[in-house]
């Protein structure tokens, strides 16, 4: 099996089971918890990827961390991955599950790049306008880039609106050199 297909297939199976049990949102929360722990405790990822550590030990560690804190389906999913020697793919499976969840729920990802951070009121207003424009739920990711000088760049999927001062200056520069 192609190694890149492993996370996709397992995530599809998990999302199908979560839908069937009516716990799609809870399992997404579990996958986000898992990803958060993987990021904050890199040793866990090393443990999962280690060919030296026995699968039983890996399962004990996962159970100790997540037992009682995640859905039983999530725990049995971790067990299945370890039993099939796919534990090194668990982070990819979690990412794929989250992506498939967003697709199933119609959630679009928007990225806002500004020169300085925006306040909560502006953020909420922007999310509301994007929701109305795209008629869907929005997950907003914010980034700052001092080189923008001012204004913003908003990207929603493959559409981009560049309302930054640096973007305007580049546009003027191009127009001057073309003529």
Q: pTM for the full model?
A: 0.77
Tally the C-alpha atoms within 13 A of residue 118's C-alpha that lie toward its C-beta: 20
Q: What is the DSSP letter of 162?
A: E
**What domains appear along the chain, each with residue ranges and CATH number?**
5-103 (1.10.520.20), 107-178 (3.40.30)
- The answer for 175, left when phi > 0, alpha when psi is -120 to 50, beta otherwise, is alpha
The C-alpha atoms of residue 3 and residue 117 are separated, in whole angstroms, by 39
Q: In the Cβ-directed half-sphere of 160, how many Cα atoms lie within 13 Å?
A: 8
In the chain, pLDDT over 70 holds for what percent of residues? 98
Q: Mean pLDDT by 10-residue block, N- to C-terminus, for the chain (179 residues)? A: 79 95 95 95 92 93 94 96 94 95 89 87 88 86 84 83 78 77
pLDDT tens by residue, 55-87 = 999 999 999 999 999 999 999 999 999 999 999
């Amino acid at each position: 099996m192609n190694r890149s297909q492993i996370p996709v297939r397992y995530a599809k199976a998990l999302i199908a089971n979560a839908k069937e049990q009516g716990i799609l949102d809870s399992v997404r929360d579990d996958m986000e918890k898992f990803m958060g722990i993987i990021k904050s405790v890199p040793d866990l990822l090393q443990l999962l990827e280690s060919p030296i550590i026995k699968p039983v030990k890996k399962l004990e560690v996962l159970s100790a961390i997540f037992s009682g804190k995640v859905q039983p389906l999530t725990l049995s999913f971790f067990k299945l991955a370890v039993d099939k020697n796919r534990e090194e793919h668990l982070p990819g499976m979690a990412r794929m599950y989250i992506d498939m969840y967003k697709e199933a729920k119609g959630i679009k990802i928007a990225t806002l790049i500004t020169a300085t951070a925006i306040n909560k009121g502006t953020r909420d207003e922007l999310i509301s306008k994007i929701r109305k424009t795209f008629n869907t739920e929005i997950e907003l990711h914010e980034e700052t880039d001092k080189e923008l000088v001012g204004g913003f760049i908003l990207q929603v999927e493959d559409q981009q609106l560049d309302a930054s001062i640096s973007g305007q200056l580049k546009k003027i520069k191009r127009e001057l050199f073309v003529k």
